[in-house]
Structure 1
Amino acid sequence: MSHLTLPRPDYLAMIEPYIDAPLVKILTGVRRCGKSTLMGQIADRLRERGIDQRHIIRYSFDSMQYDGWSAAELYRQLSDALPSTDADDSERAYLFLDEVQEIDGWERVVNSLMSESSVDIYVTGSNSRMMSSEISTYLTGRYVAFRVFPLSFREYLRFCDEYGTGDGDGDTHRRLGGYIRRGGFPATCLTAYTDDQVYAIVRDIYNSTIFTDIVRRNSIRKVDQLERIVRYTFDNIGRTFSAAGITKYLKSQNRSIDAETVYSYLRKLESAYILHRCSRYDLEGKEILKTQEKFYLADTSLRYAVLGYRPDSVAAMLENLVYVELLRRGWQPYIGKIGTAEIDFVASKQDRVMYLQIAQTLGDQSTRDREYGRLLSIRDNHPKYVLCTDEYAEGNYEGIITMHVADFLLSDEW
């Protein structure tokens, strides 16, 4: 099986029902998370349906070939590339536009082609500006968006088994350690790389994101200032902090920066999908709080590639894994506040709610009292979980489910 064709069935199952629907299919996510490969797999499905290869047209706009192109140039190029078609679906063209956000005004081009041609359009982008007001203006009601993430733990195990990477001993609890350290960028799971080689690949992803998607696109001059904020944030994953706290820290390092600039940099890191912001939710007041958010990484390997590996970071990275898995499955996670105590995650999905506490180990009584006690203080019947990495952690304590983090990530029960 080719490195390029190991399918990601969960995403394909989400996208396939929209093939031939009069909607632009937009795939967004951090660089190198697999968006382009998914587009290739959709094209494969079209060929399996008997679509003529001449009607499957693909462009990658992160190539220098298109540097500086205008929307008008893009429109002419794509119009000329489309085969002569009529309204007959058998003559429909399928257009795949990779990293299309590199061209300003792409939304107008896509809107025009949708109106003028028999064409089914798929686009990818690595910046949340893909979902900006421009889309609302030109594509209202005419697009469907899919958020693509790096490999889940289930996908990571499948990739490692397919390509002979990872330890492959079948012990999923033990293999969770490899997933934490090495992360889920598909490119790192295709060959039996060492950890250092994995981090070299991830640093390249990080650098191209920082310097292409953030520094160059936003004309940032104080790159060292941005990198210090990145390092501070990466080092404080899973902790509440504020822009004022970062400002105070940098001032102690003889680096002057105002809080608004810090917020601006954090927003840019979010836009590039490097960071996810998690707000706090007051369980008693039933409101989202605007201060003391937490941030989580798109992939745990980013922390280790930038800061190096430290065993004391594992607890925060377990939290990070659970947070991203919640997003991947369509849940909206918040940090729960109940009185002066904190619940690691309150997650909602339509009319469903669940509460989660995450601990590296439940080895001592004070930890167990804290983790279970906070959940017991919530007086409702929604599912409550304590997740940890203790080898034999499973069971039910006064209605609270205890699970190994690896088992939770692989479970279909939530």
Structure 2
Amino acid sequence: MTGIRRCGKSTLLSLFENHLIKSGVSKNHIIRMNFESFDFDEITTYKDLHAYIKKRLKNNSDRHYILLDEVQQVSSWEKVINSFLVDANVDIYITGSNAYLLSSELSTLLSGRYVEIKMQPLSFKEYLNFTENHKDDSLQDKFNQYLEFGGLPTVVQLMDHPETIGPFLEGIYNTVLMKDVIERNGVRDAALLESILKFISDNIGSIVSTKKISDYLTSSGRKTTSDTIYNYLKMLENAFILYKAK
């Protein structure tokens, strides 16, 4: 399951875990790990991950369900996934907050053995389902809120305290930009990256080219090239901050 942070991947994984239990699967046969939790802070390498899961597999004849949240935090994690698919009777579900989850190396290892579920923030129709308890608001008011605050599910939970929505969104923005773009790609010019993102945000609905962005930034005193712009746009797309309208 792939998608931007806080779009609901972990919730979907929890719903699936509940479904398994209701279907009669023993809790002992479900291995759930969230790598953003401090409980798994010491598992940083694929060898740590392999040892942890192997210890919890009761026996190889019974099917086990492995649910891994934000698995990209563990280096070379795909080796573990491939190993258990070969050596054990398992069904594996993984989530990640950037498109590198399905890198060429992983695609090669798991060729033909995975299905990607792409998750996005709430559509406006879904947003209306989430805000049924705010019946006093008109449809136009709800649409204005949706345009202003976006469709991350947590935003809906904060509607009773609107002053908290801005800081929440800013925190998500900074985390995604820092962890999924700057750190992940070793970006050296974070200021240029933000300038590009602001330009794109100001021009949503318009066709933009790397040359147009490059010319604008150069005229603003930020000398850059179309190639650099293209690379930065790709990074933002891989972190699910931007979606290309093909």
Q: TM-score range by the shorter chain?
A: over 0.9
Aligned runs of 1:172-321 on 2, under 5 Å? 172-279=139-246
Query: Which secondary structure does the structure 1 equivalent of 2:131 belong to?
Result: helix
2: distance between equivalents of 1:216 and 1:68? 19
**Partner residue in 1 for 2:87:** 116
Which of residues 10, 13, 27 is equivalent to 1:53?
27
Gap regions ≥5 residues in structure 2: none
Aligned runs of 1:70-109 on 2, under 5 Å? 70-82=45-57, 84-87=58-61, 91-109=62-80
2: distance between equivalents of 1:122 and 1:200? 31
Query: Which secondary structure does the structure 2 equivalent of 1:212 belong to?
Result: helix
Query: Which secondary structure does the structure 2 equivalent of 1:275 belong to?
Result: coil
2: distance between equivalents of 1:117 and 1:68? 21
Question: Which protein has the bigger helix share?
Answer: 2
Query: Which secondary structure does the structure 2 equivalent of 1:150 belong to?
Result: coil
1: distance between equivalents of 2:101 and 2:90? 20
1:348-396: CA deviation from partner (whole Å, max 9, x where unpaired) = xxxxxxxxxxxxxxxxxxxxxxxxxxxxxxxxxxxxxxxxxxxxxxxxx
The CA RMSD over aligned residues, in Å, is: 1.8
* Cα pair distance change 1:256/1:196, threshold 3 Å: farther
| Number of residue-to-residue matches in the alignment | 245
2: distance between equivalents of 1:203 and 1:67? 28
Q: TM-score when scaled to structure 1?
A: 0.56
Query: Which secondary structure does the structure 1 equivalent of 2:94 belong to?
Result: strand
Which of residues 30, 49, 62 is equivalent to 2:4?
30
2: distance between equivalents of 1:67 and 1:151? 33
2: distance between equivalents of 1:218 and 1:191? 32
Q: How far apart are 1:68 and its partner, in Å? A: 7.7
Whether the 8 Å CA contact 2:5–2:97 is kept in 1: the answer is: yes
1:268-310: CA deviation from partner (whole Å, max 9, x where unpaired) = 000000101123xxxxxxxxxxxxxxxxxxxxxxxxxxxxxxx
1:159-195: CA deviation from partner (whole Å, max 9, x where unpaired) = 212xx4xx42374344222222222101111133454
User: Are 2:126 and 1:151 equivalent residues in the alignment?
Assistant: no
**Partner residue in 2 for 1:411:** none
1:215-253: CA deviation from partner (whole Å, max 9, x where unpaired) = 111111211111111111111111111111111111122
2: distance between equivalents of 1:244 and 1:264? 13
User: Which letter does structure 1 place at the counterpart of 2:181?
Assistant: I
**Partner residue in 2 for 1:142:** 113
Which of residues 7, 32, 40 is equivalent to 2:14?
40
Gap regions ≥5 residues in structure 1: 1-26, 280-414
2: distance between equivalents of 1:240 and 1:194? 36
1: distance between equivalents of 2:206 and 2:95? 32
Whether the 8 Å CA contact 2:158–2:165 is kept in 1: the answer is: no
2: distance between equivalents of 1:263 and 1:63? 34
Query: Which secondary structure does the structure 1 equivalent of 2:224 belong to?
Result: coil
* Cα pair distance change 1:261/1:67, threshold 3 Å: farther
Q: How far apart are 1:63 and its partner, in Å? A: 4.1
* Cα pair distance change 1:178/1:107, threshold 3 Å: same
Query: Which secondary structure does the structure 1 equivalent of 2:115 belong to?
Result: strand
Whether the 8 Å CA contact 1:182–1:195 is kept in 2: the answer is: no
Bigger RCO of structures 1 and 2 (CA < 8 A, at least 6 apart) = 2
2: distance between equivalents of 1:155 and 1:245? 35
Q: TM-score when scaled to structure 2?
A: 0.92
Aligned runs of 1:394-413 on 2, under 5 Å? none
Query: Which secondary structure does the structure 2 equivalent of 1:277 belong to?
Result: coil
2: distance between equivalents of 1:173 and 1:249? 35
1: distance between equivalents of 2:206 and 2:66? 43
2: distance between equivalents of 1:67 and 1:154? 41
